[in-house]
């Protein structure tokens, strides 16, 4: 009688092991369920002063419960999917799509989505007219240098100039609204960056004082608010660090 029981036990153990193997395998891969997605990061800089709070959707699936509001920057976060569309939908029951990007995202990259325009339409057809989806990945600068670029992301703003340390040191000039420049290289050190209207270059609209540029890093200086306003949408600027740099010439 002992032998049949032993055989039955072995069969039972075999069946349990067979059922558990896929489960154990899937648990082991949980952190890398979408390798390409988990290697790509996005940050959302929400600069539309009159748009409602929104949520992010990837391939029509809500990415998280995080709400994006003016004038906040989400910081980089990993994506669960690279499949389009990339959408921002109102954080309401009807979840209206206010911004849609149909481009597929690249693996092993960093992106910034600047939401820059005013909303237009009605509460049931609201849309955001302007945005910039920026690929932040870049090649390493020369030793002893950093990379800087400038984004004019202030609604209704004139063409703007960005200068470093004094008004005679020209860096990035005549940048239109809703445009982002290529990176330029600057020696490492601390900088006072000034932003002025290109039409009146001696009138400084905003200053970013004592900004450190570190060796081998990449930075984006971007504007927000509206030139001439002094209320909650007053003109200003901030700095992002885009530090996913490549040793090859894959990106500019």
| CATH number of the domain where residue 173 is located | 2.60.40.2890
**CA distance readout (Å), 110 to 37, 139, 144, 203, 207:** 11, 13, 23, 35, 27
Domain span at 131: 34-137
Q: What pLDDT sits at residue 69?
A: 95
Residue 146 shares a structural domain with residue 108? no
Nearest 5°: CA angle at 59, between 44 and 49? 30
Do 194 and 205 have their domain in common?
yes
* Per-residue model confidence as pLDDT tens digits over 77-120: 999 999 999 999 999 888 989 999 998 999 988 999 999 988 77
Domain finish residue from 104, 137, 170: 137
Query: Which tokens is 80 given?
Result: 């669960």
In this structure, the answer to whether residues 183 and 237 fall within a common structural domain is yes
SS (HEC) of 202-229:
CCEEEEEEEEEECCCCEEEEEEECECCC
Task: State the pLDDT at residue 185.
Answer: 93
One domain for residues 142 and 237: yes
pLDDT digits (tens, 9 = 90+) for 2-27: 444 545 544 343 443 444 433 333 33
Shared domain for 132 and 183, answered yes or no, is no
Q: What is the pTM of this model?
A: 0.80
Tell me how far apart the alpha carbons of residues 17 and 176 are, in angstroms, rounded to a whole number: 64
Residue among 138, 121, 116, 126 at smallest CA distance from 222: 116
d(CA 136, CA 35): 19
Based on the structure, what is the number of domains in the chain? 2
Residues 216, 205 within the same domain: yes
CATH of the domain at 38: 2.60.40
SS3 label, residue 119: strand
Identify the weakest region by mean pLDDT among 11-15, 73-77, 133-137, 222-226.
Answer: 11-15
Domain identity same for 145 and 239: yes
CA distance 111 to 220: 12
Q: Are strands 119-120 and 54-58 parallel, antiparallel or unpaired?
A: unpaired
Co-location of 238 and 193 in the same domain:
yes
DSSP 117: S
Same domain, 169 and 116: no
Instruction: Count CB-CB contacts under 10 A for residue 152.
Output: 26
Q: Tell whether 110 and 186 lie within a shared domain.
A: no
- Give the per-residue pLDDT at 168: 60
129 pLDDT band (50/70/90 cuts)? Answer: confident
Same domain, 150 and 212: yes
């Amino acid at each position: 009688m002992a032998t049949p029981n032993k055989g039955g036990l072995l069969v039972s153990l075999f069946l349990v092991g067979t059922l558990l193997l896929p489960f154990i395998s899937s648990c082991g891969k949980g952190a890398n369920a979408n390798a390409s997605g988990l290697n790509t990061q996005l940050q959302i800089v929400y600069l539309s002063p009159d748009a409602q709070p929104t949520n992010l959707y990837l391939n029509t699936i809500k990415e998280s419960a995080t709400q994006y509001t003016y004038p906040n920057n989400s910081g980089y976060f990993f994506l669960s999917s690279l499949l389009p569309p990339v959408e921002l939908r109102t954080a309401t029951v009807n979840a209206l799509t206010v911004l849609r990007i149909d481009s597929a995202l690249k693996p092993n990259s960093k992106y910034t989505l600047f939401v820059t325009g005013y909303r237009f339409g009605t509460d049931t057809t609201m849309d955001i007219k302007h945005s910039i989806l920026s690929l932040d990945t870049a090649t390493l600068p020369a030793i002893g240098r950093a990379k800087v670029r400038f984004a004019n992301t202030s609604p209704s703003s004139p063409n703007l100039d960005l200068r470093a340390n004094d008004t005679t040191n020209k860096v990035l000039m005549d940048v239109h609204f809703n445009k982002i420049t290529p990176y330029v290289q600057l020696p490492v050190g601390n900088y006072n960056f000034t932003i002025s209207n290109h039409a009146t270059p001696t009138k400084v609209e905003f200053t970013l004082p004592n900004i450190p540029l570190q060796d081998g890093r990449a930075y984006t200086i971007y504007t927000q608010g509206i030139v001439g306003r002094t209320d909650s949408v007053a003109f200003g600027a901030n700095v992002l660090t885009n530090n996913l740099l490549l040793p090859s010439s894959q990106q500019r």
